Chains A and B, each alone.
Chain A
């Protein structure tokens, strides 16, 4: 017998360790569920970490109202399959109640509005740890993110005031009103996530696999045609074979021309891809430091 783990087994073990650490160190943690493969992986790892006991955290989904219908369908399946508890924070409701104002114009997105609803839900639920599926390889502002990321009483992230993390010792101590964002899959790359889910034969939303959809192009990004986006007259809708590489709101998730219909084909495509997955995210294109700026305000 060889006494070493392959890299996916080691990443799994690390993530399970973090998830159990959260259960031990915090009173009221919650999993932020976006519907994307990273939060799906996180939920699956949480199931593994506590089996045969139930996952000791509920799922919180901030619903912008602009989701792909497939996302909601999958979310409900997942919750039922693993006997989880789901909480939904609604951006639409916050808009209706006049707490936040919808962006206007062609590139209007509810991405920024999520932050308000998220912080509001965290405060209402008195959650002291919010688990997120962020990965350090995703974006440059995330390369320095901790596993246990401290947020002040305003939910804000201060890159200069983060605690050093050494060995496998995680400091989750906090004052009243503060909370932590915890990122159990920090060390996974996009390819790791796919390879792991493939090896585990875990079912994923159909959006990730090649399918026919009505799409149009804007600023070099292919978007799904839907009622939430106002098209310019010159933006022409075509039916194409596409898939999503990341899943977010329909308004800002770029889709890719792809014929990858199985997880192995996806791995092949990701492994040879010349563009990062967030390259298709309109929300990141709002400026070179868009992610860093949103993070400071309390974004995921």
Chain B
């Protein structure tokens, strides 16, 4: 696949408060990058007119379900797509209401970049802090602070500087590595795709330029080899009589033919004899490739096992500390039992201890009120029925993450990050 197919994929999440113009910003990106079709445009033009709004309400482009269009709010993660000659973009558009932390966490889990919107008239709000804390918890590699509605503050550099400094001061307490600031007006299109004529004092890039050029090739872990076995391929036919391949998606490191590897949980060592894809053999495989790995020796390996390098294994633990975000209306139960999913493995676990509840607005650790309700963030200790092969989430977002499932309802009740 060459030519115009050689574009990279960038996933970003947007978070914003109720009226800070997030939908307008996305509408603007779609509109200015010419990703809106005429029939979609006509449809929102008609609705805008019917509602008696001035001009075209770009926010309508991202409003999905009937229920939320009636209420004028977005109630779930919606995925949007647009592309430029350089990159294809997937936007996880998440609502900013206090009760929807879970959506923000969901959108953040796979994002390379987080856009946090700040209304220039309001400055850094509690919700801004919450978004930034979640971005840091979920280890989104790049953070862009869009200071929006600059048109409503006369494109004032002074206001921009003040918000910039205030946020930077706060961000120093967070685990974020790459923070950028862009003054914009989503409504007027300033610094979205084209440079603003109104803010000559701003010398940085436009938002789209940033999204097209930010370095994301290193966002995966290419150091520590992790291959969770997902599915065993056994054709049982005459042409491939002894074929036995381990299918999965590389979660970390670079696997090569001939590498000495260790199998978990058995601890046996062997070598990679071949790495297959439908198109044929490959010499190397790296995240996020889906491949089939063959080993020199026959072992009894199944889904949930992990193939790693001999000198670089994850920890094998039954007692694990997690930061979790709670998703369910029923509170987390101390001593409660849940189903846990980690890579391709499913085990059961018991909640040994709720250590503290973290205030997502202040980072404060509340040791007293440890009742964990929907949208709360907490640190907990669990014990699993079998060892998991885990890395700290900071080191690997794939082998460091889990979900908890209610055994009775089968709902996904929490997302967890290994500490």
A interface with B by C-beta (< 8 Å): 1-14, 16-17, 20-21, 23-24, 47-54, 136-137, 140-141, 143-144, 159-160, 162-169, 171, 173-175, 186-187, 189, 191-192, 195-196, 199, 273-276, 279, 288-289, 292
Given contacts A6-B7, A141-B64, contact A24 B231 (CB under 8 A): yes
CA of A129 to CA of B215 in the docked complex: distance in angstroms? Answer: 38
Given contacts A3-B286, A159-B76, contact A174 B410 (CB under 8 A): yes
Residue of B nearest to A140 (CB): B64
Other-chain contact of B290, A13, A159, A288 (Cβ < 8 Å): A13
Residues of A within 8 A of B342 (CB): 169
Given contacts A13-B289, A143-B78, A274-B38, contact A167 B410 (CB under 8 A): no
Q: Is the CB of A167 within 8 A of B397?
A: yes
Residues of A within 8 A of B248 (CB): 20
Taking the closest CB of chain B, its distance from the CB of A180, in whole angstroms, is 11
User: What would 12 more interface pairs be, CB under 8 Å, given A13-B288, A162-B76, A195-B1?
Assistant: A4-B217, A5-B289, A6-B1, A7-B9, A14-B288, A52-B233, A53-B243, A54-B235, A165-B412, A166-B412, A169-B403, A187-B81
Given contacts A17-B249, A274-B38, A292-B65, contact A23 B231 (CB under 8 A): yes
Q: Is the CB of A164 within 8 A of B67?
A: no
Q: Is the CB of B236 within 8 A of A53?
A: yes
Beta-carbon contacts under 8 Å, B7-65 to A: 7-9, 37-40, 43, 63-65
Q: At the interface, yes or no: B134 with Cβ under 8 Å from chain A?
A: no
Q: Is the CB of B110 within 8 A of A144?
A: no
CA of A51 to CA of B398 in the docked complex: distance in angstroms? Answer: 25
Residues of A within 8 A of B222 (CB): 3
Beta-carbon contacts under 8 Å, B90-119 to A: 90, 102-103, 105-106, 109-110
Residues of A within 8 A of B80 (CB): 137, 143
Q: Is the CB of B412 within 8 A of A163?
A: yes
Q: Is the CB of A189 within 8 A of B278?
A: no
Residue of B nearest to A56 (CB): B231
Q: Is the CB of A53 within 8 A of B234?
A: yes
Other-chain contact of B401, A2, A54, A167 (Cβ < 8 Å): A167
Residue of A nearest to B37 (CB): A276
Q: At the interface, yes or no: B295 with Cβ under 8 Å from chain A?
A: no
Q: Is the CB of B64 within 8 A of A144?
A: yes
CA of A20 to CA of B249 in the docked complex: distance in angstroms? Answer: 10
Task: Indicate with 1 or 0, residue by residue over B342-384, a CB within 8 angstroms of chain A CB atoms.
Answer: 1010000000000000000000000000000000000000000
CA of A162 to CA of B75 in the docked complex: distance in angstroms? Answer: 12
A–B Cβ pairs within 8 angstroms, 11 of them? A6-B8, A8-B1, A20-B231, A20-B290, A143-B79, A144-B79, A165-B106, A166-B110, A167-B398, A196-B1, A289-B65
Taking the closest CB of chain A, its distance from the CB of B45, in whole angstroms, is 14
Given contacts A6-B1, A9-B1, A175-B410, contact A17 B230 (CB under 8 A): yes
Beta-carbon contacts under 8 Å, B124-160 to A: none
Q: At the interface, yes or no: B120 with Cβ under 8 Å from chain A?
A: no
Residue of B nearest to A172 (CB): B410
Q: Chain B: how many interface residues by the 8 Å CB criterion? A: 73
Q: Is the CB of B5 within 8 A of A53?
A: no
Residues of A within 8 A of B4 (CB): 195
CA of A174 to CA of B411 in the docked complex: distance in angstroms? Answer: 9
CA of A53 to CA of B247 in the docked complex: distance in angstroms? Answer: 12
Q: Is the CB of B65 within 8 A of A159?
A: yes
Q: Is the CB of B65 within 8 A of A171?
A: no
Q: At the interface, yes or no: B66 with Cβ under 8 Å from chain A?
A: yes
Residue of B nearest to A175 (CB): B410
Beta-carbon contacts under 8 Å, B401-419 to A: 401-403, 405, 410-412, 415
Residues of A within 8 A of B235 (CB): 52-54
Task: Indicate with 1 or 0, residue by residue over B308-337, a CB within 8 angstroms of chain A CB atoms.
Answer: 000000000000000000010000000000
Taking the closest CB of chain A, its distance from the CB of B283, in whole angstroms, is 9
Residues of B within 8 A of A54 (CB): 235, 237
CA of A214 to CA of B16 in the docked complex: distance in angstroms? Answer: 51
Q: At the interface, yes or no: B195 with Cβ under 8 Å from chain A?
A: no
CA of A137 to CA of B38 in the docked complex: distance in angstroms? Answer: 15
Q: Is the CB of A168 within 8 A of B398?
A: yes
Q: Is the CB of A143 within 8 A of B64?
A: yes
Residue of A nearest to B239 (CB): A52
CA of A231 to CA of B321 in the docked complex: distance in angstroms? Answer: 68
Q: At the interface, yes or no: B201 with Cβ under 8 Å from chain A?
A: no
Residues of B within 8 A of A144 (CB): 64-65, 76-79
CA of A167 to CA of B220 in the docked complex: distance in angstroms? Answer: 13
Q: At the interface, yes or no: B341 with Cβ under 8 Å from chain A?
A: yes
Given contacts A10-B9, A137-B81, contact A164 B412 (CB under 8 A): yes
Q: Is the CB of B66 within 8 A of A275?
A: no
CA of A163 to CA of B229 in the docked complex: distance in angstroms? Answer: 24
CA of A191 to CA of B103 in the docked complex: distance in angstroms? Answer: 28
Q: Is the CB of B9 within 8 A of A11?
A: yes
Residues of B within 8 A of A13 (CB): 249, 288-290
Q: Is the CB of A6 within 8 A of B278?
A: no
Residue of B nearest to A24 (CB): B231
Q: Is the CB of A171 within 8 A of B79?
A: no
Residue of B nearest to A279 (CB): B39
Residues of B within 8 A of A17 (CB): 230, 249, 290
Residues of A within 8 A of B234 (CB): 53
Q: From A136, A173, A191, A275, name the one whose CB has the most chain B CB atoms within 10 angstroms.
A: A173
CA of A13 to CA of B12 in the docked complex: distance in angstroms? Answer: 19
Q: Is the CB of B79 within 8 A of A187?
A: yes
Other-chain contact of B90, A48, A166, A187 (Cβ < 8 Å): A187
Given contacts A159-B76, A173-B410, contact A167 B239 (CB under 8 A): no
Other-chain contact of A189, B6, B81, B217 (Cβ < 8 Å): B81
